[in-house]
A and B are shown apart, each in its own frame.
Chain A
């Protein structure tokens, strides 16, 4: 009989816990097994990769309501992906607690843009429209102000030295590629990520 992982969990749960509690004269095994399967039973398995170090451990995110109508997906569990030839289901303390990163920090997680004016000692909320309009203006003015078509020796250089772009080691390849494409098109020369620091 082919046993999938979830059935396997139920089976071992039933036997091991069953034996332990039987010694006390009552048996909670069915209740525990039931609770265990309920948590991920109706969840969709979504394959992800750990966001921390560059081992690249595969993980499974169990999500209820994934791509279903009229429901907001809810993350119920993250565990190591046993199919991965790299981590074979294991995760280190960081990977094992990624659910808290995904859901948590939520107290500190801003849900809309924030702006801190010159000299101010606190943030204020700002709409995306306003923030983007202001940032776009600053980027353009800075670029226009500092753009060099040629250097002192008359070489064509077409660069801006007015602003820098830093980061990217936590974004995916595609996002990083888009950043590099846009930043180089703007003439950016100060462009660095975490590789050296």
Chain B
């Protein structure tokens, strides 16, 4: 999503669903996975006649309450969305004024960009990678001209005080008529023209009439006074084309004018209580807190980093807020991390930030263990083998470790891996520690929900026995290490000895103090900041996570607020808890209004210009800047607008989304001029041999999913929930069951190239055979996760991830859990 709008988070929030006219739910099952949030969609349906469209491999409880349901072959969503984009452009259903004003449709693309036979320009088959510099815009000045200029006018990198670095070639050329054949608009039209309803149907298995019905319905939200909310979950991201799926649905929303508006947006529903919060805090290899990019080798100084990482201002009207303030945010982060040890003289301790060599994702880390290059692992409330993919491979990788530390309230698939089925404990030399940690209810602290609301919770209970807080353990580890590095030699002790640890109880830092440190303060006055606008790059401010600035101000803990008034009636609830950034409830909300600052739909204003100020939601825009100044609505991008074309290195697999088949697929790619295999998918050592070819022994498409009664693996410790969903099961359609002689309720075995599972067969019409093109029939098998060898009923040991392939999305390596090949038989 960052590639489309500049930030990676749900743009709207749960209650905002009440403002929608329509929902397009793809790769998600909110009626079961997020029931209490999804109530707001029913509210919209009951009160304003909103329609719900559900597209998913399985017919679920979400489908049961939808107006339109279409089954889809797992892993083909890019084709579906590109087909919708094509339909919307062809039938001129897009929101024209919005597209002109708030997207890069009018930007001219450089001649170096092209697309042919399924690959974009700059592709090198030998390294399976792109030279992404060919995916660029055309600028006011040619590069040669710019080179001459810059000799006379050395432009320093952005100072961080709000001054934007401008590309030396000047701003991007545009064509406001959108007619130039090299404009983003025309190139996009050409790119998606191959995705006709017939082609989409052949790839996805959605009957053509059904696809047209959906396209017409969803296209109707392009009318300025209508708005639709896109809803998705891991069903989309869990594919080798995951990032492009999100790109494609984001682009569709931009074309229909649905981004930044109440009742609209792009809404990722996340599975864990605080997955959003601790993504914000950068427990994620490629970022630092607040989505600052991790520096890469070769960026030797802070200047190098500021020169290369933040966006440049690409258009006259672009505020480029993030790009222009990057240095302020990074230096303030370094002050929070390293305090007095980060000085101007040592480049704010920039050298102390580790610089990863390459992709350091989940898949890479476990592969490093498999190759005997990793020695240890800390599992901080994590069930590594059950989470997978390819559980057997993960079990082997953990068995190769010297040590493993599991921190959790309850036993996990990580802490017990050495006695998992098929593992011989005496063959496992790993030292394993289980550190009993507190439950959520035994400590304070904030959880940030999918809608970016950070809500404080209070400690209710004392832990039993010697159970300790997670942060107590981290602090003890730190203090122990600091002592050791003081006493004896060791590698590069500077960042450890220099780490700021100013907590009143160093061995058990109060969470309030950590929350205040995340918010940030003025170091000279000691005052808590109320906005990141006040952060500076001169070392006088600190902030552990700039997007949380405003969460704990001089007025106190804003996340603990409990006033549920809703004066605008739009469900913003600005005094209930706090949402990042700056308590804004809908991101990019400048786009909810036209060029004069009037809401596209006056009944559902996001923000509007009252003559001197933007009012309504907290504006995602300078609050007193008049609309006639013409500043772009998307202040987080260098373009100032939403991106229909994502230039340069924003992705590594293309500026436009393109459908490729899942790594394991039963068919060839039916897109004209398409290519079967994803051009930049990364194959780990030996993993390729564990993938099944089309037409082989594994003819059925399998997809994994979650059910309402369980949350991942922890609920196997909750007896009520184990009782309601006691056993591992497998869903298959009646035709396939008849063909295979499988009776409902009997035991079945499902095998992939990587492993096998056994469980109860649920033969159900909720699974449907799909017809691809004229003749090909594909059966799909649904396999819920949630069971492993820990907790629950002793006999339910099958884990869906024994089957899944060890491959990830080409950009961030999110594993491909949702579309792979299996065989099934009666036991």
Contacts and interface: CB of A to CB of B under 8 A. Distances in A.
Interface of A: 46-58, 61, 63, 66, 72-73, 75, 80, 83-88, 90-95, 97-98, 100-102, 104-106, 108-121, 123, 126, 128, 131-140, 142-147, 149, 151, 153, 155-182, 184-197
Given A170-B274, A195-B279, A156 B447 contact: no
A139 B478 CA distance: 10
A190 B364 contact: yes
B593 interface: no
B354 A160 contact: yes
12 contacts: A56-B448, A112-B436, A114-B436, A147-B491, A161-B357, A163-B403, A164-B378, A166-B382, A171-B381, A189-B360, A193-B284, A193-B382
Nearest to B498: A185
B275 interface: yes
List the 6 closest pairs (A to B, CB-CB), nearest first.
Answer: A111-B465, A172-B445, A56-B449, A167-B380, A167-B382, A105-B717
B669 interface: no
Given A121-B425, A170-B273, A177-B545, A57 B382 contact: no
B374 A161 contact: yes
Interface in B440-459: 440-441, 443-451, 453-455, 457-459
Contacts of A116: 418, 431-434
A106 B409 CA distance: 9
B283 A165 contact: yes
Question: Most chain-A Cβ atoms within 10 A of its Cβ — which of B376, B457, B460, B464?
Answer: B460
Contacts of B458: 46-48
A180 B544 CA distance: 10
Nearest to B401: A163
A147 B289 CA distance: 23
B379 A167 contact: yes
Contacts of A158: 351-355, 492, 495
B274 A191 contact: no
Question: Most chain-A Cβ atoms within 10 A of its Cβ — which of B369, B434, B721, B814?
Answer: B434
Interface stretch (B66-74, B114-122, B480-488): B480-488
Interface string B465-505: 11111110111111011001100001110011001000000
A98 to B, nearest CB: 8
Given A131-B433, A192-B361, 11 more contacts: A55-B36, A94-B715, A115-B432, A116-B418, A119-B427, A135-B403, A142-B402, A149-B492, A182-B474, A191-B282, A193-B275
Nearest to A74: B461
B598 interface: no
Interface string B409-442: 1110000001100000111111111111001110
A159 B384 contact: no
B236 interface: no
Interface residues of B, number: 164
Given A49-B273, A153-B297, A182-B474, A118 B351 contact: no
A190 B381 CA distance: 16
Nearest to B573: A85
Question: Most chain-A Cβ atoms within 10 A of its Cβ — which of B352, B449, B813?
Answer: B449
A170 B440 contact: yes
A90 B282 contact: no
Given A85-B15, A106-B464, A172-B446, A194 B275 contact: yes
B300 interface: yes
B709 interface: yes
A174 B445 CA distance: 6
A155 B357 CA distance: 10
A135 B338 CA distance: 24
B402 A138 contact: yes
Interface in B685-715: 708-712, 714-715
A111 B410 CA distance: 10
Contact of A173 (B34, B37, B377, B445): B445
B518 interface: yes
A54 B460 contact: no
A153 B355 CA distance: 13
Contacts of B684: none
B795 interface: no
Contact of A153 (B298, B410, B455, B476): B298
A41 B380 CA distance: 37
A93 to B, nearest CB: 5
A175 B283 contact: no
B409 A109 contact: yes
